[in-house]
Structure 1
C-alpha cells in the first residue's frame, strides 16, 4: 500500500490541540470527584489517562506505536477492573466509557490517513473489538465503541481518498494546461518556420534579382546619374537582404542553408551616423567606444546598430531633451552596448509617445536572443532609462 502524504501544519496543530483539550478534560473530571479508589491512590486513573492523552502528540511521528499504546491502555484498564476494581478506573463515571481513552477516535482517524496498510486495519479491528466488548455487549458499549473507532476510521479514509482525488485532478489539470501551452508553442513555432521559409524562398530571391539587375544597370549605363542611382539601389538592396536574413533568423531556421551572397557585402553602418542624426534633431548624445571592432561578425555589428537605433528612437519619443550616453565596448569575448538617458526635462508629446506599436523592445529582444545575446531594459536608479545588450562575438 502507498504511504499518504505528510500532514499539513494546520492538521498537526489541531491534533496537538485535541491532546491538550482531552488532558484538560480528564483533569477537570478528576477535580469534580471522578477518582480511583484502589491502593495506587486517587490520582492513579488520572495518570493513566494523561499518558494516553499526551501520547497523541506523537501520532504523526510514531503512528503505529501510538495505536499500540491505545490498545495496551485499554487492555490495562479492562484487566485492572477485572483483577482489582477501582485500581485504575475512576468512579463515579461522569462521562463516556471508562475503559476506552477518549483520544482513541482521533488516533484511529489520524493513523488510517498516515498509513494505508493492512496492519493498520488489523489494529483498528483490535481496538474496535476492545471498545465494543462483544463478550459483554450492551446498548451503551457497542454504539459508543463503534462511535470511538469504526466511525473515525471510515471518516479518516474518506478524507484521505478525497485529498488523493483532488490532488489527482489538480495534477491532471496542470498537465493538460502544460500540454496546451506546448501545443500552442508548437503551433507558433510552425507558423514562424512557415513565414521564415516563405521569406527565404520568395522575398530574398526577388530582392537578389533586383540587386543583380541594379548591378548590371550600373555597369552598362552611360549616364553618370543613372549609374549613381543604380549603385544606391544596389547598396539598399544588399542592406535589405541583410535585414531579411536576420528576420529569417528571428522567425526560425530554414532547412537548406542560407541564400548565397549577391555581390560585395553591404557597407558597414556606423553608430556615429545615428548619433549625429539625433544631435541634429535636438537630442544631446555622447558616443563612447572602447576597443576596435575588427573581427566582430557583421551580424553582431548590425544588431548593435539596431539596439542603438531603437534606444535613441525611444528617447526621441518618451524623453525629449534628455542627455544620452551611448557606450560600446568591443572585447574578445563579446560586445556590450549601453544606451542610457537622464530624466526628461519636460513631458513628452502625447501624439509622438503614442505613435509606436509597443513592440519595439520586444522585437529587439528577440533579435538579440537570436545571436545568443541578452537584452536588459528598465529605469535607472537615478532617473531616466537604460537599454543594455550583451552580444557574443561567436554567433550561435
Structure 2
C-alpha cells in the first residue's frame, strides 16, 4: 500500500478547528448552567471544568494529535471510573445528554484518520467504544448513542481517507502513464529522425556531390569565360549546400539527445554575405547595422542569420524586380531584425515560387519562439512585405553557458 503523505493543515483548517472548540465550550457551559451540577468531593464544577479543558485541547489537534487523543482517552476513562466508583464526581447522576465520553470525541476521531496511523486509531476507537456503549450494562439509550459518537465518526473518516488515497494513486498512475507515453513518442520521433538522416546522407548528399563535381569539371574544360564563371558559382553554392546538409544531418542524428536547442547550434554566418548574394541575383538589397554584433551569443547570431536568409529567399521567389532592405539593431537586450521589400516589379517564376514547402515562415516562427524571441510577418502598405524578429541577447543553453 502506498505510504500516506503527511497532512499539512491550511489556514482554513485552523479556523474551523478554533470555531469548533469555541462551540463545544459554549455547549458544555450551557449544559452545566441548565443541568445538574456534580456532587462529588471535587465540587459542582468538576465535570464542566474537565470538559472545557478537553475542548481547549482541540486547538492542539493538528500539531499534537497523539497528545490530544491521549487526553480524550484519559477523560473518557475518568468519566467511566466516576460512574462506576463514585457516581456524580465528574458526571452528573442525571445529565441532559446521553454522552458518556467527552463531548469533543466525535470531532477528534473524525480528524485522526488524517493525522495518525490506522492501527493506533482503531485501538483508540475500540477503547472509546467500550467506554461510550457500556456493553456490560447495555441500555437502549446509552449503547446506540455511544456507537454513533465513537465508531461512526472513525468509520466515515477512514472511508474518506481511503478514497482520497485511491484518487491520488489513480492520478499518479495516470501521470506516470502519460510520461511513459511521451517517452515512447520521443523515442519514435528520434527513430524517424535517424532514418531521415540516413536517407538524406545516402541520397541527397550523393546527388549534390555529383553536381559539384560536374560543375567543377565544366569550369575546367569550357573555353567560354562566362560558362566557367557560372560553373564556379554553381560549384561554390553546391559546396555550401553540402556543408549545410552535413549540419542538418548532424542535427537529425543528435536531436534525440541534444533536444530542441540543436535547432540553433552551429557557427553563425554573416548577414552581409546574404545581402551581397541577393544583390548579385538582381534584387538590390541594402544592409543597415546599428550596435555591436558581439553583444549577442552565437546561438542568437545563428538564428538571426536564418531569419535574414529565409526572408531574402522568399523575396527572390515571390517578388522579383523589387528592392529590399535589411535592418539589424544590436542592443543590450538582444537584436531587432527587419527585412522589408517593395512591390514586385515582374511576375514571379511559377517553378521557382512553387519550389518551397510553404512552411518556411512557420519554421522561422518556431525557431524564434524556441529561444524566447518574437516573430512577425505580413504585407505592408504599397504592396511590399515585411519580416520582423525580436531576439534576446542570450539563451541559457549549453552553448550559451560556454
CA–CA separation in structure 2 for the residues paired with 1:219 and 1:155: 93
1:360 pairs with 354, 361, 364, which one? 364
2:374 pairs with 374, 377, 382, which one? 377
Q: 1:288 to 1:147 in 2, by over 3 A?
A: same
Q: Which residue of 2 aligns with 1:179?
A: 180
**Aligned-pair distance for 1:253?**
3.5
CA–CA separation in structure 2 for the residues paired with 1:283 and 1:228: 23
Q: Which residue of 2 aligns with 1:43?
A: 45
Q: Which residue of 1 aligns with 2:71?
A: 69
Q: Contact 1:339/1:387 (CA < 8 Å) preserved in 2? A: yes
**Aligned-pair distance for 1:3?**
4.9
SS in 1 for 2:102: coil
Q: Contact 2:47/2:89 (CA < 8 Å) preserved in 1? A: yes
**Residues 6-43 of structure 1: per-residue CA shift (max 9 Å, x gap):** 15424454444332222222222233344334454443
Q: 1:191 to 1:120 in 2, by over 3 A?
A: same
Structure 1, unpaired ranges of 5+: 255-267, 318-322, 330-335, 343-353, 367-373
CA–CA separation in structure 1 for the residues paired with 2:285 and 2:40: 101
| TM-score normalised according to structure 2 size | 0.71
The runs of 4+ residues in structure 1 deviating greater than 6 Å are 275-278, 280-284, 299-302, 311-315, 391-396
Q: Which residue of 2 aligns with 1:197?
A: 198
Q: 1:4 to 1:273 in 2, by over 3 A?
A: closer
Q: Which residue of 2 aligns with 1:369?
A: none
CA–CA separation in structure 1 for the residues paired with 2:114 and 2:190: 47
**Aligned-pair distance for 1:193?**
1.8
Structure 2, unpaired ranges of 5+: 256-268, 319-324, 340-357, 377-387
**Aligned-pair distance for 1:203?**
0.3
CA–CA separation in structure 1 for the residues paired with 2:276 and 2:7: 63
The more displaced of 235-244 and 207-216 is 235-244
**Residues 325-365 of structure 1: per-residue CA shift (max 9 Å, x gap):** 52469xxxxxx9722569xxxxxxxxxxx997432132457
Q: Which residue of 1 aligns with 2:150?
A: 149
Q: Which residue of 2 aligns with 1:339?
A: 336
The more displaced of 304-313 and 65-74 is 304-313
Q: 1:91 to 1:284 in 2, by over 3 A?
A: farther
Question: Aligned pair 1:88/2:90, yes or no?
Answer: yes
Q: 1:34 to 1:243 in 2, by over 3 A?
A: farther
CA–CA separation in structure 2 for the residues paired with 1:394 and 1:20: 61
CA–CA separation in structure 2 for the residues paired with 1:277 and 1:220: 29
Q: Which residue of 1 aligns with 2:259?
A: none
**Residues 248-275 of structure 1: per-residue CA shift (max 9 Å, x gap):** 2332349xxxxxxxxxxxxx75526538
CA–CA separation in structure 2 for the residues paired with 1:68 and 1:357: 71
| TM-score normalised according to structure 1 size | 0.72
**Aligned-pair distance for 1:208?**
0.8
Q: 1:309 to 1:224 in 2, by over 3 A?
A: closer
Q: 1:205 to 1:143 in 2, by over 3 A?
A: same
Q: Which residue of 2 aligns with 1:25?
A: 27
Q: Judging by fraction of residues, say which structure has more helix.
A: 2
**Residues 101-126 of structure 1: per-residue CA shift (max 9 Å, x gap):** 12111212222332224333222211
Q: How does 1:1-396 map to 2 (within 5 A)?
A: 2-3=3-4, 5-9=6-10, 10-38=12-40, 40-90=42-92, 92-97=94-99, 99-253=100-254, 271=272, 274=275, 286-288=288-290, 290=292, 304-309=304-309, 325-327=327-329, 338-340=335-337, 357-363=361-367, 374=371, 376-377=373-374, 386-388=390-392, 390=394
Q: 1:47 to 1:154 in 2, by over 3 A?
A: same
**Aligned-pair distance for 1:71?**
1.7
Q: Which residue of 1 aligns with 2:265?
A: none
Q: 1:251 to 1:92 in 2, by over 3 A?
A: same
CA–CA separation in structure 2 for the residues paired with 1:169 and 1:220: 75
Q: 1:275 to 1:102 in 2, by over 3 A?
A: farther
Q: Contact 2:365/2:375 (CA < 8 Å) preserved in 1? A: no
Aligned residues: 346
CA–CA separation in structure 2 for the residues paired with 1:285 and 1:393: 28
**Aligned-pair distance for 1:131?**
0.9
Q: Contact 1:270/1:305 (CA < 8 Å) preserved in 2? A: yes
